[in-house]
Amino acid sequence: MQSLNPSPSPRYWLAIGPGALGGNPVRAWPSAGSRFYFHHLWAPLAVFAGLSLLLIVLHGDLWLADRLYAMEGHAWSLRTGYITQDLLHAAGRQASKDLWFTLALMVAISLLLRKGRQWRWPLIYLLLATALSTAAVGLLKRWTNMDCPWDLLRYGGDDAYYSLFMHRPSILGHAKCFPAGHASAGYAWVALYFFFLSARPRWRWWGLGFALGLGAVFGVAQQLRGAHFLSHDVWTLMICWLIALALYQLMLGRRRANLSAQAAS
């Protein structure tokens, strides 16, 4: 006999919220094996693992830093350069802060004006995702205890090189150079992808491109200054992406599922 209550597709699990009790469609989140998670979680994690293997385990970080160091005359001559230090580091960091405070103002306006109601929750999501991403990277910098390239004997500094997966002797003092803090001021905005995925799906790639471009510019500037290895930026990007994805599922995923169900009905 056929069951009167067939189980949901294994590709989705059901999440019933307050709105579903009033006759609205039951909301569905994609399961771990869905196409959504393949494109937004598993594929990025696979690329991240491959890059980490190449840069950290196989010493791609040192290979690239050696060439940058040699290109600058065997000294981090761009460490105090106007473009790398004053413009892209100091002014860039302040610009990202100003953008966040502007976003906070937009959230406040959306709470006051009825016309901004449809943007309210996505804006709150974006505000939280960017703040949590930069905060997480900042906290990890205090815990990972890794040197900047400019601190290493290999590049004119005083310390021996210890990779992420090696024990660094406590006699060397505490280091705070991993992951890349400044790059997080750009990569935190990968949350724009999910912001637009919820509010204006056609714009999501523009949001992602903006964040990747900004983070890459900030990251390359810091590598040219001797402040970070490339893997530091890769880890920062992955941290920001995972936080943006997790918060999207918690705050906006069910909202988008409802909108899709309404459009299909």
For 121-178, what is each residue's pLDDT tens digit? 999 999 999 999 999 999 999 999 999 999 999 999 999 999 988 888 888 888 999 9
User: Mean pLDDT over residues 226-249, rounded?
Assistant: 98
pLDDT digits (tens, 9 = 90+) for 1-27: 444 444 444 344 334 333 333 334 334
Is residue 13 in some structural domain? no
Least confident of 77-81, 159-163, 228-232: 159-163
Residue 200 has pLDDT above 80, yes or no: yes
Q: pTM score, two decimals?
A: 0.85
Is residue 260 in some structural domain? no
Please give the tally of structural domains in the chain. 1
Is residue 258 in some structural domain? no
pLDDT at 22: 38
Provide the 10 A C-beta neighbour count for residue 212: 16
Is residue 25 in some structural domain? no
Domain that holds residue 162: 40-253
Is residue 156 in some structural domain? yes
Is residue 238 in some structural domain? yes
Is residue 219 in some structural domain? yes
pLDDT at 174: 86
pLDDT at 253: 82
Is residue 195 in some structural domain? yes
